[in-house]
Amino acid sequence: MDKKLLTITAAALLSGASLTAAAQEKSEESIRNHSLYKSLLDVEAYNYAAAPFQELFTKDPKYSKQMYIDGVKIYKGLYAQAADAKAANAYADTIKAIYMQRIQYFGDSANVLGRCGIDIMKLRKSDNGYMEAFDLLNQSVTLYKGDPEISVASSYLQLATSLAAAKKITVSKYCQSSMPVLNALYTNIASGKKDATYAKNAESVFNAVKNGSAKLNQKLLVSTVDSLTTQSDIDNNAAILCKVLQCLNCDNSDSYAKASEIMYQNNPTAEAASAIARFYKRSQKWDKAAQYYQEAAQKTTDDLQKSDYLYETASAFGMLHKYYDAVSFAKKSAELNASNGKPLLLIAAIYGANAPSLASDAFERGKIYWVAADYAAKAKRADYNLKNEAESLINKYAHQFPSKEEAFMHSVQGGQQIEVEILKFKESTSARF
């Protein structure tokens, strides 16, 4: 077989060759080419499958939609076997051309542009390639009109973040691109018309966007959000807007503050109270943050959520140096969720940091460090993700433990259970040196 027949170029694919009488729909030639490339594709003989696919693609473009799906598989196979970057890039051109002709004859533009954009993003690993993919995905999410397919939305949002971080698109463009898609995902979930799988996948998207946008210039991001958000957006869609801005790490923006207030005024739920609390936390207005996180905790009936709100309340009181209140709320938080190690770690940090001012002598101070180390160890057991931070505190406090001589002078032996009063809390610990 002539090797020239095995290579197909984007130019040939897009040539728009007219159909002849011998290439009518479902002609014997078309059926033969289809059968031949399918049998070769089944055994992954991509080089040999390309020629009959080319014949069918150029002479009978309306043969079937499946033909285009198969064509992408063939050229992805060839891409994987490409001898060099030039050949790989040519195969990527061909894949894009297959998608474009599929739209021409079978429509479904939003879906096909999305598939094409995802593939180009993976195949062209260059700045120009990523911008090309971004443009395709942008067309796709625009055509979906408020209901983008999850994988397309995910790729689009993550690509937007990467391009913004690399300064290939402006922060303004990033916000203009991200906000409508995030809004669509949140709105779809809020409608109750999507299933649990959709919500779970969307949550993964939200987390990826949060992590990515946190790496951008936050001052510029917040400024851009405020310049793009209209009063109408805030008035008519406050609850959804709050979630979008949280996702973009812009919950310290003026837009977020206004939206959270309207959300709370319309329906002062736990979620609304926590939205306002988030703003005050990011703005470092700790007294207000503590107030609204307390209210959120009081209004929710979900113990895990209540635990989170109580922890945030404790953290705010800690920042206010109201350590008794901080420990009190942290203990309540830990009681509600055995897997929440953060309140335990907070107690450890508060006890350890305040040991010098709470103790009358070195031995009394050392006893507080025993308790602080206990809480750090509990935090590590509750949540292994806190391992490094917990162990750092444990090692730090271990250097402050009483010596055997100090303990002996106070009639305390190793392993002995003792009670320690810290900030009016009675704590139990064991002596060790």
Of 7 and 168, the one with more pLDDT: 168
The residue assigned the tokens 């207030």 is 261
For the ranges 214-218, 280-284, 416-420, which has the lowest average pLDDT?
A: 214-218
C-alpha torsion 271→275→278→280, nearest 10? -130
Contact 423, 324 (CB under 8 A): yes
Q: Which residues, including other chains, have CB under 8 Å from residue 127's CB and lie 6 or more apart?
A: 166, 168
Phi-psi region of 359 (alpha: psi -120 to 50; beta: other; left: phi over 0): beta
Q: Does the structure show a pLDDT above 60 at 340?
A: yes
Strand partners, 419: 428
Tell me what percent of the residues of the chain surpass a pLDDT of 90: 91
pLDDT score, position 197: 94
Q: In a 3-state reduction of DSSP, which class is residue 111?
A: helix
Q: Does the structure show a pLDDT above 80 at 15?
A: no
For the ranges 198-202, 267-271, 394-398, which has the lowest average pLDDT?
A: 198-202
Contact 274, 239 (CB under 8 A): no
Rg (C-alpha) for the chain, rounded Å, is 31
Tell me the backbone φ, ψ of residue 426, rounded to 5 degrees: -95, 115
pLDDT score, position 125: 85
Q: Does the structure show a pLDDT above 90 at 11?
A: no
The 10s digit of each residue's pLDDT in 149-159 is 999 999 999 99
Q: Does the structure show a pLDDT above 80 at 18?
A: no
Tell me what percent of the residues of the chain surpass a pLDDT of 70: 94
Closest of 372, 315, 365 to residue 340, by C-alpha: 315
Closest of 153, 238, 233, 146 to residue 193, by C-alpha: 146
The confidence band for 331, taking pLDDT boundaries of 50, 70 and 90, is very high
The 10s digit of each residue's pLDDT in 95-141 is 999 999 999 999 999 999 999 999 999 999 888 999 999 999 999 99
Q: Does the structure show a pLDDT above 50 at 201?
A: yes
Average pLDDT over residues 177-204: 93
Q: What is the mean pLDDT of the chain?
A: 92
Question: Which pair of structure tokens corresponds to residue 235?
Answer: 């008035």
Q: What is the DSSP string of 252-281?
A: TSHHHHHHHHHHHHH---HHHHHHHHHHHH
Q: How far apart are CA 225 and CA 206, in angstroms?
A: 17
Question: Which pair of structure tokens corresponds to residue 363?
Answer: 């031995």
The 10s digit of each residue's pLDDT in 344-371 is 999 999 999 999 999 989 999 999 999 9
Containing 194, the helix (H) or strand (E) segment is none
Exposed e or buried b per residue across 142-169, where buried means at least 16 C-beta atoms within 10 angstroms of its C-beta: eebeeebebebbbbbbbbbbbbbbeebb
Strand 417-422 and strand 425-430: the pairing is antiparallel
The confidence band for 10, taking pLDDT boundaries of 50, 70 and 90, is very low
Q: Which residues, including other chains, have CB under 8 Å from residue 6's CB and lie 6 or more apart?
A: 47, 48, 50, 51
Question: Which pair of structure tokens corresponds to residue 150?
Answer: 């999850």
